[in-house]
Structure 1
Amino acid sequence: MIKKTICLLIIISLILPLEGCWSRKELNELAIVLAAGLDSTPEGNIVLTVQIARPSALGGSQSGQQSGGGAQQNNVWVVSQEGESVLDATRYLESKVPRHIYWGHTVILILGEQLAREGIRKSINFFSRSPHTRETIWVMAARGEARDVLNSHSELESTSAQSAGRMIRAGIGVPVMLKDLSMMLADKGINPVLPRIELTPSGTPQGPGMPENLTETNTQQSRATIHAEVALTGTAVFNDDRLVGWLDYHETRGLLWLQDKIIDGEVTLPSPTEPNKKISIDITRGSTRVEPFYDGANIWFDVEIQMEGTLLEQQSIEKLTNPHIFNNIEKNAAHRIEDKARSAVEQAKYDYGVDIFGFGQAFHRKYKDAWPLFEDRWNEVFIGADINIKVKTYIRRTGLTTNRISEQ
């Protein structure tokens, strides 16, 4: 009898903690956030903008079209709310959204320019701390307001958030997830960078179009004919958590080389025999090795970059079977990559005064004992350090033809 009682008590104690699905939310009760944007107000508050999927638009086979073949619709609902913090704005937002706000499918987080210049730590804390958001969200900085970027649609993808996510995964800009940004903010050997996103005029919509929101196109006529597409146009440079400036597209390529993050791309250079004509090389492989040196007084870095590629376009008619010409093309390609890398270094050093390449991290790994002497003033040390860049390029193939078809 005693054994039966003990067994019963054990069974009851095991069953009681099983609380079931008391906190479950059905799919039709969720407002799925695809993208979020943060802006600041003059009073110091935060404006949270969310791009919420519209199930009726995304669920059908003709996404963004009415069932009767009518005018084009938005696939998302974009709504904003001001608050003293992100969580505060979220709570107020719940009074406008008739469903439970769900962050699990958020693709991108966009930080507005003014907010980024004031400092981003306080703004991203919610997304880093909340168990409902993911650390794999792509983070970007807007040129202008994040709200304007989110209030747009894509001509090819279902939403502008998906369009931006696909571009960053394809290696168009500097890829930065929320977890990467958090680590950069915590590490004194590198300053954060984020891809710059903005709306750009991108052709005329085919068929019935939706009004666009480009600042430059305020008249009703131009708003109906100019499409605004999200585009990655460069890189945002930060000193600690404050935005200090931008890198353009070519400087961004130099940054990617120095960070060893080149995925693909191309190098275009003048022909060795006809400088007014171009040769383009498709990058198939790239690697970068950074070696720091410290002699007790001076710090310098040797950077070795290697690129392999395929020559895929030739406007000139020189013979690629000529070893001298082929070697000249490889050397010119190396000079072009070196110029982009040096341009990024000079911009970071002399215009912004920050190490955005991770040279401090490389120095820390090699000289652990000396690092405490420099970590609190690493940006100053970086400005005075010599950066020696050496590039080697190898053209492995010339496509389906060796020489261009002669004009004669």
Structure 2
Amino acid sequence: MKLIRLLLTCLIALILLAGCWDRSEINDIAFVVATGVDKGKKNKFLYSVQIPLPSSMGGAGSSGGGGGTSGEGPFLVAQGNGGNERQGIEEIQTKLSRRIYLGHRRVHIIGDSLAKEGIKKSLNAIFTQPRSRISTFLLISKGDAVKLLKTQPRMEQYSGEGMREMSKNSINMTAREALQDLSREGKDMVIPIVNSAGTTKDDKNKKEVQMESFAVFKDDKLAFSSNTNESEGILWLFEKMQKKSASFPVAKDEEISVQIFENQTEPSFKIVDGKPTFLLTVRAAGVLFENEPNYRIEDPKTYRLIISKMESQIKEQIQAILNHAHSQGIDVFGFGWYLFKNNHHEWEHNWKNDWQKTLPNLKVTVKVDADIQRTTNIGIIEKE
């Protein structure tokens, strides 16, 4: 009897569970690789999606372009208006024959005009989409985000892939990390800025995506964009100078170039007269690649001269971004968050409520320990 019941159960299960009830053919899906959001009209948002067109993709170096919904080239960019991302995506869906799929989105770009008004709503939209990846890279566009999505780079078949690779070599700000920064006490966001620029002055119509600076936020609003000196300081602060080259002036109209392979930043603090003071110890080591003055760095005095120039410039770059941010009550490095983790009681009772007012007068000492551990043959004069 038990055997009969078991067989009946298996038979019913086979009948009810047979077949595929929710299949989706790959030819019916539009895979979105990058999205953008700009400030629209009447308090609405303008959403853009970039979708590769496999049928138009050739091998490496093949020509092609894209934009709009014309389908020309290896990708298309479709747009829709809405009060939130869901409404924008629904309007875009009415223009496409395939179902939009956001599970492959790797890059989300926010226009700078919208970023100045706040990006929290745009970030929350990523988390409310069931198949969105919270590891999506965040970028701020100089101008409208849709223009970057329509840019056709030469090295990649669509700009979303190029921006993803650039993000991996920068601060790596993802949707998850941005939302964490927004929820953390005593920490403000820094997001890379991307722009489209001509590769040469004579070829202005050919645009390439360029990562040129950083957007510094106060709460969820864009406060200012870093200049070249401040951008270098941000990279040093966040330990992102590895595998990058840094140039240091050591004489009049002459520089040395160092390939950095070690970059560490260690904060520490002490309380003086009831106020926190910080010490930032930055360690940098690299390989001497270019030696314009033809210095013999084997000489101890020459070596100390070069190291002092390196340390002075790194310190100046870090202090530049700290001074600018702190003057506006922005904790770009996260000193407040460091206090929250290491001296929570004092933070909650003495510093938390007035932290933004404290920042302009916060004492931060920057100590840089630089080293050149290897050299190329340039500048080494062998004695015969």
The alignment's TM-score, normalised by the length of structure 2, stands at 0.91
C-alpha deviation, 1:319, in angstroms: 2.1
Write the letter of the residue equivalent to 2:191.
L
Counterpart pick for 1:388 among 356, 360, 365: 365
Deviations 1:97-117 (A, max 9, x none): 110101122121000112111
Corresponding residue of 2:307: 330
Counterpart pick for 1:278 among 229, 233, 255: 255
Q: Is the deviation greater in 294-303 or in 383-392?
A: 294-303
C-alpha deviation, 1:56, in angstroms: 1.2
Unaligned runs of at least 5 residues, structure 2? 66-71
Write the letter of the residue equivalent to 2:307.
E
Counterpart pick for 2:320 among 339, 343, 346: 343
Counterpart pick for 1:233 among 212, 215, 220: 212
Say if 1:322 and 1:86 are closer, same or farther in 2 by CA, change over 3 A.
Answer: same
C-alpha deviation, 1:14, in angstroms: 6.2
C-alpha deviation, 1:7, in angstroms: 2.5
Corresponding residue of 2:339: 363
Write the letter of the residue equivalent to 1:361.
W
Kept in 2: contact 1:38–1:48 (CA 8 A) = yes
Unaligned runs of at least 5 residues, structure 1? 67-72, 205-221
Deviations 1:251-282 (A, max 9, x none): 122112223333332222223xx432111111
- Distance in structure 1 (CA, Å) of the matches to 2:239 and 2:117: 30
Q: How many residues align?
A: 376
Kept in 1: contact 2:46–2:79 (CA 8 A) = yes
Task: Kindly report which structure 2 residues correspond to 1:107-126, keeping only aligned pairs within 5 A, or say none.
Answer: 107-126=106-125
Say if 1:79 and 1:405 are closer, same or farther in 2 by CA, change over 3 A.
Answer: farther
- Distance in structure 1 (CA, Å) of the matches to 2:135 and 2:157: 20
Question: Is 1:194 equivalent to 2:191 in the alignment?
Answer: yes
Write the letter of the residue equivalent to 1:262.
M
- Distance in structure 2 (CA, Å) of the matches to 1:404 and 1:247: 41
- Distance in structure 2 (CA, Å) of the matches to 1:360 and 1:19: 58
Identical aligned pairs, as a percentage?
Answer: 25
Say if 1:113 and 1:65 are closer, same or farther in 2 by CA, change over 3 A.
Answer: closer
C-alpha deviation, 1:12, in angstroms: 6.3
Kept in 2: contact 1:196–1:235 (CA 8 A) = yes
Say if 1:9 and 1:251 are closer, same or farther in 2 by CA, change over 3 A.
Answer: farther
Deviations 1:228-257 (A, max 9, x none): 211111011111111111112331221122
Counterpart pick for 2:180 among 173, 178, 183: 183
Corresponding residue of 1:314: 291
Say if 1:259 and 1:376 are closer, same or farther in 2 by CA, change over 3 A.
Answer: farther
Write the letter of the residue equivalent to 1:335.
S
Kept in 2: contact 1:86–1:126 (CA 8 A) = yes
Write the letter of the residue equivalent to 2:113.
Q
The alignment's TM-score, normalised by the length of structure 1, stands at 0.86
DSSP 3-state at the match of 1:199 = strand
User: Considering only aligned residues, what root-mean-square deviation do their CA atoms show, in Å?
Assistant: 2.4
Q: Which runs of 4+ in 1 moved over 6 A?
A: none
Say if 1:18 and 1:175 are closer, same or farther in 2 by CA, change over 3 A.
Answer: same
Say if 1:15 and 1:368 are closer, same or farther in 2 by CA, change over 3 A.
Answer: farther
Kept in 2: contact 1:283–1:310 (CA 8 A) = yes
C-alpha deviation, 1:15, in angstroms: 5.8
C-alpha deviation, 1:296, in angstroms: 6.0
